[in-house]
Structure 1
């Protein structure tokens, strides 16, 4: 009943974690609102969600790297829905390269989507939530935002930025009854890696430890409209990141071979 009738807006919702969050939110009685670039894929996802849950899932095309488009889409959603209760900033992508191989245009796109787009989407709903005195902003970050490893310098930089933004936002938003949560999963079985690691080497190396998107989605939805500070998965990786903060030199020395699995 905690989520029944709540409007849950999800970016990057045409597949992967975003689509699974939409399914799980609908199963809990919420109304998932799907945002992503591909309208055709959104239409298909919306139809699947309604067929499986009986909940209608509105959708709208959105490129989170287009700030003007964000403002227009969010304003229209508020007008159509009356309220946005939860925003899940899930849109993002990564590319794994050694520093000497970084493509600077690619770097700019990564920051535009993973960081600037996330901040712009947050800002677009923030005043609305402040006026209502309630709401929940959930930012999908990564364990890479806590421990940077070789070949992930730019991607980790974007996720470190998301973690820092989220921590600051949490302190500000709490004054107005708005919850803020960072979600830090390890590797997840999605098409993320078709872009991040075209060689497939990383997936082969870590496949036995990869999380299912459905499991991540359940944890995210369970946290909705609760004062959950962070969701960290898997537990052993969370323990590793805590140890890293206490003894970074030791962890880098002991886990060096594992860090080069990309």
Structure 2
């Protein structure tokens, strides 16, 4: 629970399943009002109805593909006109495909950057004027441990998450004097349908199954941090420790951890 969210308005992209859906329920438990965004309108409708009935908070939904920048602009123009304030934006929409550079297609590369990076930045740009006007707000960007510690067959995906972390760090400095908080969330593998597309062979999930995070646990930590000046949320702790060692001595770490890197 987070009492700071009572009667606040929280936007979540990619809210129709996985971590986004788990976040929606955790925000509602804390008394926050929700604006749910995703491509699958029927799933959003079901989630929104359940939240309205169970938690008695406001829960609205909008069909949105963040890859379509014009659609992002139009949807957020509607939202900013209908709602007096936006307190939190969670940029959660994203996807990955685990393939080597040679095997992955250029269209897959383009799609990952359009969703994971351009869409995230576009959504952020749309809410910043409102947050500046109200002199407070919180941008939460779902990045990944893959953005800190790249592994084979995740070159395109890791590149997008590196970009998200870089964008988040720069944005934080730009708005730090305006009472707008900016947080990067860097989870390891989460047990969601993300891997239905990312890992079609099922090999990676099989190899790391016992280490996968539960979306409810990740959502709980994120919601607790909402409207606080939290720089990063890194999960699990041991993977964050490994990524720190990697940044200190990358060549040595790659040599020692070579077997662990080739799980895909």
User: Which TM class, normalised by the smaller chain length?
Assistant: over 0.9
CA distance in 1, matches of 2:81, 2:71: 15
Give the deviation of 1:130 after TM superposition: 1.1
User: What is the TM-score with the length of structure 2 in the denominator?
Assistant: 0.97
* Counterpart among 94, 113, 135 of residue 137 in structure 2: 135
Structure 1 stretches of at least 4 aligned residues deviating more than 3 Å after TM superposition: none
Conserved in 2, the CA contact under 8 Å of 1:15 and 1:45?
no
> Partner of 2:114 in structure 1?
112
CA distance in 2, matches of 1:17, 1:5: 22
Give the deviation of 1:173 after TM superposition: 1.1
Q: Does 1:148 align with 2:166?
A: no
Conserved in 2, the CA contact under 8 Å of 1:8 and 1:84?
yes
- Residue 102 of structure 1: SS of its match in structure 2? coil
CA distance in 2, matches of 1:49, 1:143: 31
- Residue 37 of structure 2: SS of its match in structure 1? strand
Q: Does 1:83 align with 2:85?
A: yes
* Counterpart among 36, 39, 42 of residue 40 in structure 1: 42
> Partner of 1:24 in structure 2?
26
CA distance in 1, matches of 2:133, 2:48: 30
Conserved in 2, the CA contact under 8 Å of 1:8 and 1:86?
yes
Give the deviation of 1:55 after TM superposition: 2.4
> Partner of 1:125 in structure 2?
127
Give the deviation of 1:158 after TM superposition: 0.2
CA distance in 1, matches of 2:102, 2:75: 38
Unaligned runs of 5+ in 2: none
- Residue 2 of structure 1: SS of its match in structure 2? helix
Unaligned runs of 5+ in 1: none
- Residue 4 of structure 2: SS of its match in structure 1? coil
CA distance in 2, matches of 1:31, 1:237: 33
CA distance in 1, matches of 2:118, 2:155: 17
CA distance in 1, matches of 2:191, 2:58: 26
- Residue 139 of structure 1: SS of its match in structure 2? strand
Give the deviation of 1:41 after TM superposition: 1.1
Conserved in 2, the CA contact under 8 Å of 1:135 and 1:178?
yes
CA distance in 2, matches of 1:213, 1:32: 18
Q: Does 1:207 align with 2:173?
A: no
Q: Does 1:161 align with 2:170?
A: no
Matched residues, number: 262
CA distance in 2, matches of 1:177, 1:246: 32
CA distance in 1, matches of 2:225, 2:201: 35
